[in-house]
Amino acid sequence: MTLFEFTGVSLRLGESRILSNVSMQMAAGEIVTIVGPNGSGKSTLLRLLIGSLAPSDGRITTAPGLRIGYVPQRLALDPTLPMTVARLLGLRRKVSAGQIEQALAEAGVAGLSRRQISALSGGQLQRVMLARALLAEPNLLVLDEATQGLDQPGVAAFYRQIEEVRQSRGCGVLMVSHDLHVVMSASDRVICLNGHVCCQGAPQHVASAPEYRALFGEGTGGALALYTHHHDHRHDRVPQEAAE
């Protein structure tokens, strides 16, 4: 079953072309990571999928019954807004205290339901947002640079958590990584985006690479992998053109 499909999707905002002719699809239960430099349109792609933006060209089709659990980039809560974890999880749907506890446990932050959001660490907040997304009973988890601001062990732990969730629930996972080189080793597919789909493929396991071990240590438990690829062609799109 295909969860969603982009067919020749382009997006222009004013004079600048953000995405051109992007075609991709995702199968149920697949883990797909999108990597790309800043301004390559990664987050834009997710925003098209959740309906925040409409494509200028092309078509986006979603499977009937697609339920997206969305985890945004770090939630910037205004300090004037008081919010407990339990209240945040129950904001859009009626959930019992038991369901909240269960979702928090599944996301690895059991027992935090009475805490204020502002008192959480970056890693805890991301897990709380993951728990919130899980309450939607999603068949597709969408994570927009969910590991931003986490240190390497934090990223690794978060990726392991996602993998566990995927294994127990069988939902698809679509995520964006701000780091060109570090993606989740469990990814079935990595898509390199730079205004268009540059290339895609399976992430290479590099457990044996000494440079990798030296850089990230042994503590990541194999959750991180390098995705190596070559940019062997130039792009027609000249970024300066858009700025002028």
**Cβ proximity to another protein, 70 vs 158, nearer residue:** 70
Of residues 92 and 231, the one with the C-beta less far from another protein: 92
Q: At 202, list the tokens.
A: 């399976």
Size of the residue set binding another protein (CB under 8 A): 25
Give 119's contacts (C-beta < 8 A, 6+ positions apart). Answer: none
Stretch 98-127: interaction string toward another protein, x if CB under 8 A: ------------------x-----------
Q: Given candidates 31, 34, 42, 70, which one binds another protein under the rule CB under 8 A?
A: 70
For residue 218, the one-letter residue type is: E
Shortest distance in whole angstroms from residue 172 CB to another protein: 15
Tokens for 23, please give them. 């075609």
Q: Which is closer to another protein, CB of 25 or CB of 118?
A: 118
Binding mask 156-195 for another protein (x = CB under 8 A): ----------------------------------------
Stretch that binds another protein, among 50-58, 149-157, 225-233, 234-242 (CB under 8 A): 50-58
Closest approach, Cβ 22 to another protein, in A, equals: 19
Residues written for the chain: 244
148 scored as a contact of another protein (CB under 8 A): no
User: At closest approach, how far in Å is the CB of 80 from another protein?
Assistant: 5
Per rule CB under 8 A, is residue 75 in the interface with another protein?
yes
State the DSSP string of the chain.
Answer: -EEEEEEEEEEEETTEEEEEEEEEEEETT-EEEEE--TTSSHHHHHHHHHTSS--SEEEEEE-TT--EEEE-SS----TTS--BHHHHHTSSS---HHHHHHHHHHTT-TT-TTSBGGGS-HHHHHHHHHHHHHTT--SEEEESSTTTT--HHHHHHHHHHHHHHHHHH--EEEEEES-SSEEETT-SEEEEESSSEEEEEPPBP-TT-HHHHHHH-STTTT-EEE------S--S--HHHHH-
Contact pick of 54, 81, 214, 243 for another protein (by CB under 8 A): 81
Tell me: does residue 136 bind another protein (CB under 8 A).
yes
Per CB under 8 A, the segment of 47-55, 150-158, 168-176, 226-234 that binds another protein is 47-55
Q: Single out the segment in contact with another protein by CB under 8 A; choices: 46-54, 171-179, 197-205, 211-219.
A: 46-54
Please choose, from the candidates 63, 27, 33, 30, the residue with its C-alpha nearest in 3D space to the C-alpha of residue 46. Answer: 33
Which residues contact another protein by CB under 8 A?
Answer: 46-47, 50-52, 68, 70, 72, 75-78, 80-84, 87-88, 91-92, 116, 136, 142, 144
